[in-house]
Structure 1
Amino acid sequence: MTTAEHDEHAGHGDRNLNHTAFSATVHCLTGCAIGEILGLALGTAFGWSNGATIALSIALAFFFGYSLTLLPLVRADLSLRQALPLAFASDTLSIATMEIVDSLIVLAVPGAMDAGLGDLLFWGSLAGALFVAFWAAFPVNRWLIARGKGHAVVHAYH
């Protein structure tokens, strides 16, 4: 293989890796966003403390993130006992990264945790935090997939 052919092949591999990592990060963002929105909305509506609201949103983000991975695995005829370790292996680091970044940003935005559900500050800070968290989790997913870990372990079942 010539140097030019090698460079072209390597570039194609990077594009595929980036595409797969992007897709995995969108998947992670979807579960995290469902959990975050639901958790923050419930905590805000119930007047819970910031700590309780953040804890609920993180728990729900993990729940929905794992659930979105488990559904296709179970549909592919894996038992829950077989599918759970795959979901944990593929999603934990990505969700954790996204949740840490997202939560820290929402907590850092002045007034965001005190804003009501009808306030632009509530929704704007959450949207901005999820956007930044996506780009924090993307290199994590890319690194994992490049090493045959993360979402690479569940792609055979999709």
Structure 2
Amino acid sequence: MPGQHAPARGGHRPAAGSPEQRQLGRLAVSATVHCLTGCAIGEVLGMVLATWWGWPDLPSIALAVTLAFLFGYALTIRPVLRAGLPLGQALRLALAADTVSLISMETIDNAVMLGWPGAMDAGLTDVLFWGAMAVALAVAFVVTVPVNYALVRRGKGHAVVAGLH
């Protein structure tokens, strides 16, 4: 984010409760919210379409994951392009910034959906479908914050595009 100090790199560990640690924590949460936004748009759209079309579990998940990655990357590419970077560089930055976070979030989200009895078979008007989706995304968020913290602490993940948003 503009005006922030560069994230810690390498083996440097900020002191517990230090301003640097709080800054890294805020960046990790911000990166995870960003990831959650793209994942939620793609997951919900993919699951809604697949459920509406009556698709079985694996194609449903494949569509939802594909759309989650597409929307996740798009949410990074747009501000990077606005910052003046060419498309090729914007794509490389989005891949570097979001891939690990998206993999983490999608793995957890879909594991919860698959593990929740009846969630994948619930209809669009069923509270079970929407409740399971909300819980799955919330669990994925909680699990992915530490992943993003580890990434930004090393100068990776969203740290590579933080100044361009």
- Mapping of 1:96-111 within 5 angstroms? 96-111=103-118
CA distance in 2, matches of 1:19, 1:46: 40
Q: C-alpha distance in 2, partners of 1:140/1:77?
A: 29
Count of aligned positions: 152
Counterpart residue number, 1:3: none
Q: Check if 1:40 corresponds to 2:47.
A: yes
- The partner residue of 2:123 within 116, 127, 131 is 116
* Residues 115-154 of structure 1 aligned to structure 2 (within 5 Å): 115-154=122-161
Q: What secondary structure is seen at the aligned counterpart in 1 of 2:131? A: helix
Contact between 2:15 and 2:21, CA under 8 Å: does it hold in 1? no
TM-score by length of 2: 0.89
Q: Give 1:7 shift.
A: 5.9
Aligned partners of 1:70, 1:64: CA distance in 2, in Å?
10
Q: Distance in 1 between matches of 2:144 and 2:85?
A: 27
The alpha-carbon distance between structure 1 residues 157 and 7, as it changes in their structure 2 partners (threshold 3 A), is: closer
Q: In 2, Cα distance between the equivalents of 1:135 and 1:127?
A: 13
Regions of 4+ moved over 6 Å: none
Alpha-carbon distance change, 7 to 126 in structure 1, aligned in 2, over 3 angstroms: closer
Seq. identity, %:
55
RMSD of the TM alignment (CA)?
A: 1.3
Conserved? CA contact 2:39–2:69, under 8 Å: yes
Pairs within 5 Å for 1:1-158: 11-158=18-165
Gapped regions of structure 2 (runs ≥ 5): 1-13
The C-alpha deviation readout for 1:52-79, integer Å capped at 9, x for no partner, is 0000000000000000000000111111
1:24–1:126 CA distance, 2 compared to 1 (3 A): same
Residue 156 (structure 1) shift: 2.0
Cα distance between partner residues in 1 of 2:53 and 2:40: 19
1:85 & 1:62 partners in 2: Cα distance? 14
Supply the AA of the counterpart residue of 1:97. S
Distance in 2 (alpha carbons) for counterparts of 1:115 and 1:73: 38
Q: Deviations over 1:103-130 (max 9, x none)?
A: 0100010100110000100000000000
